[in-house]
């Protein structure tokens, strides 16, 4: 009779799961996520996972007890191994399901933290991450990008005349209009309030002006049931200069936007 194999040593927590739990706890402790609608279910699932791990440890101890009991009853090592292996496989399947659920919720929370809840566009945090990436790529490839900051003209009057719900509707429609006017690889996000940031990779100022005009025309063509007037926008453009911080590029774009508003709005400045 061949010598039976030694049962594998059970592993309760994989390194990846321990790291994932730490990441989830850090996200839950971050004040920036206190109002996120996914925070409560994620905290609940994390607590369930901790309870599950305690149950796993208890089951392993019970399993060890069965092992001792089986030796006392002169059970064969082969039968003992088969039974223990079956238990461990079952526990591993349960543990895998919990790990997958934690990963999916963690990814969902991460995506939600980068998205503007009203317009569905990327939020300021998302845009800052993309600006850092695009700056590194522009320096590496020596292919500067163009930034645009767009401000909806006289937006406060929409809220004052028709209410904030109408203002939210207008912002969502404007976000869609900007997206339609951009190229597939361009980036647009909500910079704050009624301001939007547009990132045009590897784009000269001459071509950026054409895209910006298309954006403004698309916004102006958008109509709303609650108002007869057309909405317009002012836009400031700036080209990234290799080696500078992207905050400098943003500053020049913001200055160009101020000039556009000072010169009568419904226009572009670079």
> Catalytic positions, please?
194
Nearest to 30 by CA among 19, 42, 17, 16: 42
- Residue 225, Ramachandran bin (φ over 0: left; ψ between -120 and 50: alpha; else beta): alpha
CA distance 52 to 61: 14
For residues 134 and 237, is the Cβ–Cβ distance under 8 A?
A: no
Three-point CA angle 90, 96, 97, nearest 5°? 95
Q: Rounded CA gap, 112 and 49, in Å?
A: 22
The three-point CA angle 42-168-251 to 5° equals 85
* Token pair belonging to 11: 């592993």
């Amino acid at each position: 009779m061949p010598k039976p194999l030694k049962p594998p040593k059970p592993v309760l927590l994989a390194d990846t799961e321990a790291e994932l739990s730490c990441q989830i706890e850090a996200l839950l402790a971050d004040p920036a996520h206190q109002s996120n609608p996914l925070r409560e279910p994620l905290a609940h699932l994390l607590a369930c996972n901790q309870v599950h791990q305690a149950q796993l440890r208890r089951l392993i101890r019970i399993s060890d007890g069965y092992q001792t009991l089986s030796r006392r009853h002169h059970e064969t090592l082969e039968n003992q191994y088969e039974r223990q292996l079956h238990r461990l496989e079952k526990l591993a399947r349960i543990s895998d399901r919990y790990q997958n659920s934690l990963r999916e919720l963690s990814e969902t929370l991460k995506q939600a933290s980068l998205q503007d809840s009203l317009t569905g566009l990327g939020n300021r945090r998302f845009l800052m991450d993309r600006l850092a990436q695009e700056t590194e790529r522009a320096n590496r490839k020596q292919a500067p990008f163009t930034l645009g900051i767009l401000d909806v003209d006289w937006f406060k009057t929409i809220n004052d005349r028709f209410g904030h719900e109408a203002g939210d509707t207008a912002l969502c429609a404007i976000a869609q209009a900007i997206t339609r006017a951009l190229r597939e690889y361009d980036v647009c996000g909500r910079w704050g309030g009624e301001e939007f940031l547009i990132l045009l990779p590897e784009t000269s100022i001459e071509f950026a002006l054409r895209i910006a005009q298309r954006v403004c025309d698309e916004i102006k063509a958008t109509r709303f049931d609650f108002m007869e007037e057309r909405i317009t926008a002012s836009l400031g453009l700036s080209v990234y200069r290799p080696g500078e911080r992207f905050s400098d590029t943003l500053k020049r774009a913001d200055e160009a936007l101020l000039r556009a508003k000072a010169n009568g709005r419904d226009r572009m400045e670079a």
